[in-house]
């Protein structure tokens, strides 16, 4: 599978790259970024997946995430995929809304037309991109973890809960924890997966936990000044589900923080240290 190098820049002693490839999963070109810290020849490194939120591409976290200093210090590869297929022939929200279609793939494989052809972000993030990464970067596939923000926090939680043997750590910044119970999620899951809510449960962190999915522990940071908290994020639903399932959840309500990358970057190094402890255990 051929990989086009969009850009590489030396940063914090490692290489921050942006790459493009023709995706079999989405039938479009896909762009992603990878930071590889300085390492010995032949050495393989643990990898942290970062899934972004609504409206974002790989660029937002790459430019504003403040992850490179900690990844360099801890020896972690950091991968950031895009949030949806893109291109003029890719179906979008009929009204051009920001919360569905382009920039809003919700990390599912769509079954509904006209989205089923391209909107296969679940397969892309869980199958295709991991393979591509292993072929092209010095990753240790036995040491992977996943984190994300907002819609990407939803992605990290649901992928982490579906693949507990693959990911040694799962964390999130301001995640959508129960998409079936909030407007953003209801719009996306019905649009991509249809009205049968049974098909939604594999893509809803709270439902997955109710249905028996387990991870060793979870770390979630949530700003209490986040304007999406009450209607869309509702972290207390995850708190309740984890309590019922006896999953140790560290939910930190961060006073005064909002939903922006100013919030994410403030706690990024904390999350990476938490991941590194579990990746190197």
Tell me, yes or no, if 171 is annotated catalytic: no
Please state, in angstroms and as integers, the Cα–Cα distance from residue 172 to each residue in 16, 168, 247, 249, following that order: 22, 14, 15, 11
Burial of 247 (0-12, 13-18, 19+ CB in 10 A): middle
The single residue of 82, 226, 235, 275 carrying the catalytic annotation is 226
Q: What whole-number distance in Å separates Cα of residue 132 and Cα of residue 136?
A: 6
Q: What whole-number distance in Å separates Cα of residue 233 and Cα of residue 179?
A: 8
Q: What whole-number distance in Å separates Cα of residue 267 and Cα of residue 261?
A: 10
Q: Which stretches of the chain bind its own copies, using CB under 8 A?
A: 9-13, 16, 63-64, 66, 68-69, 223, 225, 256-258, 260-263, 265-266, 269
CB distance 125 to 140 below 8 Å: no
The single residue of 33, 52, 84, 150 carrying the catalytic annotation is 150
Tell me, yes or no, if 150 is annotated catalytic: yes
Q: State the minimum distance, in angstroms, from the CB of residue 12 to its own copies.
A: 5
Q: What whole-number distance in Å separates Cα of residue 76 and Cα of residue 169?
A: 13
Residue closer to its own copies by CB (options 192, 228) is 228
Q: State the minimum distance, in angstroms, from the CB of residue 36 to its own copies.
A: 13
The single residue of 203, 259, 271, 275 carrying the catalytic annotation is 259
Q: State the minimum distance, in angstroms, from the CB of residue 16 to its own copies.
A: 6
Q: State the minimum distance, in angstroms, from the CB of residue 269 to its own copies.
A: 7
Tell me, yes or no, if 226 is annotated catalytic: yes
Active site residues: 150, 226, 259
């Amino acid at each position: 599978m051929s990989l086009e190098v969009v850009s590489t820049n030396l940063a914090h002693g490692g290489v921050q790259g942006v790459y493009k490839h023709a995706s079999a999963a989405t039938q479009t070109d896909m762009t992603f970024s990878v930071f590889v810290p300085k390492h010995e020849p032949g050495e393989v490194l643990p990898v942290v997946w970062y899934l972004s939120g609504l409206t974002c591409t790989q660029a937002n976290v790459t430019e504003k995430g403040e992850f490179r200093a900690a990844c360099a210090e801890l020896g972690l590869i950091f991968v950031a995929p895009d949030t949806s297929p893109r291109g003029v022939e890719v179906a979008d929200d009929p009204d051009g809304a920001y919360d569905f279609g382009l920039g809003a793939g919700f990390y599912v494989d769509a079954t509904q037309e006209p989205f089923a052809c391209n909107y296969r972000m679940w397969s892309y993030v869980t199958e295709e991109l991991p393979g591509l990464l292993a072929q092209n970067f010095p990753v240790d596939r036995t040491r992977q973890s996943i984190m994300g923000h907002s819609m990407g926090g939803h992605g990290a939680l649901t992928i982490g809960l579906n693949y507990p043997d693959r990911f040694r750590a799962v964390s999130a910044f301001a995640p959508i924890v129960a998409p079936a119970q909030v407007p953003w999620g209801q719009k996306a899951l019905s649009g991509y997966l249809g009205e049968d809510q049974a098909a939604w449960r594999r893509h809803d962190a709270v439902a997955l936990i109710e249905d028996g999915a387990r991870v060793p522990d979870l770390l979630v940071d949530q700003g209490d000044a986040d304007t999406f908290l009450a209607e869309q994020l509702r972290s207390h639903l995850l708190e309740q589900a984890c309590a019922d399932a006896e999953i140790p959840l560290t939910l930190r309500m961060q006073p005064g923080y909002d939903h922006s990358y100013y919030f994410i970057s403030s706690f990024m190094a904390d999350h990476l240290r938490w991941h590194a402890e579990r990746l190197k255990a």
